[in-house]
Structure 1
Amino acid sequence: MPRTISANVTLSLDGFAAGPGGDMSWLVETALHEQCASGFAGYCRGVDTVLLGRTNYEGFHGFWPAVADDPAADARSRALSRWLDAVEKVVVSRTLDEATWTNARVVRDLEATVATLRAGDGQSVAVLSSVSVIQALLAADLLDELRITRVPAILGEGLPFRADGLPRSSWALESLQTIPTGAVVSVLRRR
């Protein structure tokens, strides 16, 4: 059975994945809420390969490795840090020559890489918030599942999730969860 290609992204009500200048402060309350954090930890348990764009790879690599041994970090964040260190990380980039994080490698051809990953053994392959990678997968009709957390914030500007010229596709709601912060987590499966 082919591996599932899944994407996880958090969006504002007006469809932005980040605010101006990459601001992510608008999603912190929701991301740290026990219900949301627990759901994300469950999602990660089914993933053994992560696809990241260069920007997210550099941001994750600059933050997460130190969290594993940080006594001030909560147990779930330390576990996520260890998981991110151990999981296979495939970085899609035209400009990065090497990835120095444990179990990370750089690829140029997203479609060929996804075909190889899909045909291989293992658990799901996940894109963690890398909008450019998610858009490219949608454009190539290679995404099986979307996990969207919609946060009740209007940003007005920033990094938009939508991309013009995507092929038409149909999705079925697999699950829906509300978070007490007012956020809604939708898991959509490709029909």
Structure 2
Amino acid sequence: MSRTVSANITLSLDGFVAGPEGDMSWLVETAVHEQCASGFAGWWRGVDTVLLGRTNYEGFHGYWPAVADDPAADPRSRELSRFLNGVEKVVVSRTLTEATWSNARVVRDLEAEVRALREADGGTVAVFSSVSLIRALLAAELLDELRITRVPAVLGEGQRFLEGSLPRSTWSLESLQTIPTGAIVSLLRRR
């Protein structure tokens, strides 16, 4: 049996992952809400390999390592930091030559790497919001699950989630959670 490749993404109602100039303020209320944070933690706990694009790797590496030992951080953030510090991290990049975070390595060929990871022993392989990787995995038909948090905000412009043509696919709803902020979290599985 092959490993599951799962991705997590947060979207506005009009399909953006970031507003103008990378603005992410529209999702903060939902992301920090106890129900949403708890659901996200439940998702990543089955993961033992994380795929990151260069931009997310640099952002995560610049923030998360120190949170594990920060007494001012909430317990869930410290737990996520410890997880990220220890988990295997595969950074997909054409420009990065090395990854200095513990258990991180750089690869150039996403499809070949994911095919190899799928056949190796282990738990879920996850993409933490790296839009370019999620698009590429959808295009290559290598994504098994997609966890979407739909935030009730219309941004009008910014970075779209889906652009260009993708192969046709059908997905089934595995679970649905509503968040008091008005957000809806759905876990979809490719049929």
Alignment of 1:23 onto 2:23:
yes
1:99-110 aligned at under 5 Å gives the runs: 99-110=99-110
Q: Percent identity?
A: 80
* CA–CA distance in structure 1, aligned partners of residues 64 and 177 of structure 2: 26
* CA–CA distance in structure 2, aligned partners of residues 129 and 19 of structure 1: 15
Shift of 1:157: 1.3
Residue 68 of structure 1 aligns with an amino acid whose one-letter code is A
Shift of 1:69: 1.2
Q: Which runs of 4+ in 1 moved over 6 A?
A: none
Aligned to 1:158: 158
* CA–CA distance in structure 2, aligned partners of residues 23 and 59 of structure 1: 14
SS in structure 2 at match of 1:43: helix
* TM-score, length-scaled by structure 2: 0.98
* CA–CA distance in structure 2, aligned partners of residues 111 and 189 of structure 1: 19
* CA–CA distance in structure 2, aligned partners of residues 50 and 72 of structure 1: 26
1:67-78 aligned at under 5 Å gives the runs: 67-78=67-78
Shift of 1:56: 0.5
1:107-146 aligned at under 5 Å gives the runs: 107-146=107-146
- What per-residue deviation string (whole Å, max 9, x for no partner) do you get for residues 73-114 of structure 1? 100000001101101000111111111100000100001000
* CA–CA distance in structure 1, aligned partners of residues 47 and 70 of structure 2: 24
Q: Which runs of 5+ in 2 are unaligned?
A: none
* TM-score, length-scaled by structure 1: 0.98
CA RMSD across the alignment: 0.7
Q: Which runs of 5+ in 1 are unaligned?
A: none
* CA–CA distance in structure 1, aligned partners of residues 21 and 91 of structure 2: 22
Shift of 1:66: 1.4
* CA–CA distance in structure 1, aligned partners of residues 35 and 152 of structure 2: 16
